[in-house]
Amino acid sequence: MSTLQQRAEEIAEELSYLDREERFEWIIDTGKELKTADDFQDHELVKGCQSKVWLRVWQEENNLRIIGTSDALLVKGIVSLLISIFDNATIDESKSFDFIEWMNKNQISLSMQRMQGLEGMLRRIQG
């Protein structure tokens, strides 16, 4: 199984072929494609600024497992991205990965990051 770092690099490579507008569209598509559970509970709700986000985070042996969704499509895209990178990562790997820096490096637009209470999501995932 690939490491968190490898998965992040693969996605970064995919993004590197896209311009700013295409990256934005990519996030929308990623959000539309996210398959998820429909039985989220109130305690799984992460307080976001303008939209609702649900994250279920648990451990299987030493690995982190995540599922989640949002009522907003772009946020769902970000949730999907978080899952692609963090799901099945080891606890140590996940704690040492700076997702916000990775987003900035890959020019995923600031307005998308601001609107979703991303820090709250990362706290749930990284503790």
Can you read off the two tokens belonging to residue 17? Answer: 């072929």
SS3 of residue 62 by DSSP:
coil
Indicate which residue of 28, 37, 45, 49 is catalytic. Answer: 49
Residue 101: is it exposed, middle or buried by C-beta count within 10 angstroms (0-12/13-18/19+)?
exposed
Task: Kindly write out the interface string for residues 91-110 of this chain, putting x where it contacts other proteins by CB under 8 A and - elsewhere.
Answer: ------------------x-
Residue selected from 7, 65, 115, 124 as contacting other proteins according to rule CB under 8 A = 115
49 is catalytic: yes
Give the residue with the Cβ less far from other proteins, 71 or 98: 71
d(CA 20, CA 110): 11
Closest among 33, 74, 32, 35 to 53, alpha carbons compared = 74
Buried b (16+ CB within 10 A) or exposed e, 21-51: eebbebbeebbeebebeeebeeebebebeee
Give the residue with the Cβ less far from other proteins, 21 or 39: 21
Query: Which residue stretch of 7-15, 17-25, 56-64, 79-87 sits at the interface with other proteins (rule: CB under 8 A)?
Result: 17-25
Tell me the closest approach of the beta carbon of residue 70 to other proteins, in angstroms. 8
Tell me the closest approach of the beta carbon of residue 51 to other proteins, in angstroms. 5
Give contact residues for other proteins (rule: CB under 8 A). Answer: 21, 24-25, 28, 49-52, 71-75, 109, 111-112, 115-116
